[in-house]
Amino acid sequence: MKMPRVVSLLFACAAAITGAGLLALPAAAQNPMSFPETKAVFGLDGIKHGADGVLTIQGGNLEFVKGKKKADIPASSITEVMTGKDTERTIGGTVGTLTMFAPYGGGRFLSLFRTKIDTLSVEYVDASGGVHGALFTLTEGNSLGAKKALLDAGAKTSVPVEVEAEEQAKPKEKKQ
């Protein structure tokens, strides 16, 4: 008689622990990150190309707000997050020179003309399965933080943040 009670008690405890873990909110939802002075270069529905606004990552979403207009992208639907440093590393040679003008690698294109900005590009899948991309420029030094926040919220990338952080930590060599 005592054995079924013990099994029942253990099962109840396991169910309670599992349920508590499922109810816990992700850290990204509790700590929103905001990036003012962000420009949505292109790729957001309902937002004009080149609009200045605020990029916020909170509640598992990337949100861009320009006045009363707002665009949301669920972080879980983001299949690629790239910064300007990522595109510098992955694109090289003659083919890289030709492909740096591609739409979602646009950060490399922008970096040819401006040096005091960081770029962040995202590739995402909408509810109907269509693949889209959006390109943002942020104030210098913010793209890595935005990428980390998106990855914490559930986005995916092919270039790990650790690799990018190591690249940024290396001193730049001067050409002679």
pLDDT confidence of residue 66:
95
Tell me if 58 sits within 8 A of 28, measured CB to CB.
Answer: yes
pLDDT confidence of residue 176:
54
**Phi first, then psi: what are they for 93, rounded to 5°?**
75, -170
Tell me if 35 sits within 8 A of 138, measured CB to CB.
Answer: yes
Per-residue pLDDT at 78 exceeds 90: yes
pLDDT confidence of residue 160:
82
The model's pLDDT over 1-48, given as tens digits with 9 standing for 90+, comes to 455 665 565 555 555 555 544 444 444 345 789 999 999 999 999 999
Per-residue pLDDT at 174 exceeds 50: yes
Q: Regarding predicted confidence, which is higher, 168 or 99?
A: 168
Where in the chain are the domains? 28-169
Distance, in Å, from the CA atom of 24 to the CA atom of 30, rounded to the nearest integer, reads: 11
Tell me if 52 sits within 8 A of 38, measured CB to CB.
Answer: yes
Q: Where are the alpha helices (DSSP H) in the chain?
A: 2-23, 27-30, 84-90, 93-99, 106-111, 143-152, 161-169
**CATH number listed for the domain at residues 28-169:** 2.30.29.30
Q: Which residues pair with 123 in a beta bridge?
A: 80, 133
